[in-house]
Amino acid sequence: MWINRPRQYLPIIQSLADERFTPGSGVAVTLSLITDDGKLILATPPAGSRTQRSASTMRWPFDMGIRGAALDLRSSRLRHRGGPVRPGAFLPFIVNDSVYALPETQDFWVLFYRKDILASLHLTVPDTWDEVIAMLPVLQRFGMNFYLPSGGGSDQGHLQHGAVHLPVRGELYSPDGLRAGIDSAQALRGIRLMSDLFTVYSLPLQTPNFYDRFRTGDLPIA
């Protein structure tokens, strides 16, 4: 199995396979480190040769699927035994009626906050963006701020924008998925809110190291 992870991950994953997968399946697993996903296409075995698998590799595995180099998982007896996965996580792996990968991980945002600082300022943990905006004058009066990692940088993914769009019921795509949905009234509200957080309410665009500033109390909530 090809795997694109830091080298330190390999012995851990290998031991998990040896202890939990091989005894029940009788299939031995040997991991091989790969640092360039593009080499998977070049290493595609000819028909009749042994099957190869990969994990933590191609971000868009349909590149392999449309070349006939990947198995359509809907035609196999594989079953996803992981934890709950949102259906949308499968979308990047689907071409027409075929599925060429399973989600390995799923990212999500959480709210970090310093209990001691919020208590000293008599602030409660916010549940909405309106509550975040309401607490900003208190934080900024003491030289603190709220951190939202959506400012700065040219490579901003859906995860960053979704934190602002979803609460106002905005959609990133049209219902048919064929065009961007940022022209809807809800999406425009989300874009305006995301812009105002930085231009009107003075959230920091970037920070060299959030964890250091969280520790010192400059950014006690993010």
pLDDT tens sequence across 51-88:
567 777 766 677 777 777 778 888 765 555 556 677 77
Q: What is the mean pLDDT of residues 131-144?
A: 96
Compute the distance between CA of residue 171 and CA of residue 183 in angstroms, rounded to an integer: 9
Please report the pLDDT score of residue 50 as a whole number.
Answer: 52
DSSP 153-190: -S---HHHHHHHHGGGT--SB-TTSSSB-TTSHHHHHH
| Residue position matching structure tokens 């920070």 | 207
pTM of the model: 0.64
CATH H superfamily, domain 115-216: Periplasmic binding protein-like II (3.40.190.10)
pLDDT at 180: 73
User: Residue ranges of the domains in the chain?
Assistant: 1-57, 59-106, 115-216
Mention every residue, 6+ apart, whose C-beta is less than 8 A from residue 113.
125, 220, 221, 222
Chain-centroid distance, C-alpha 33: 23
Contact between 145 and 202 (Cβ < 8 Å): yes
Helix (H) or strand (E) holding 115: helix 115-120
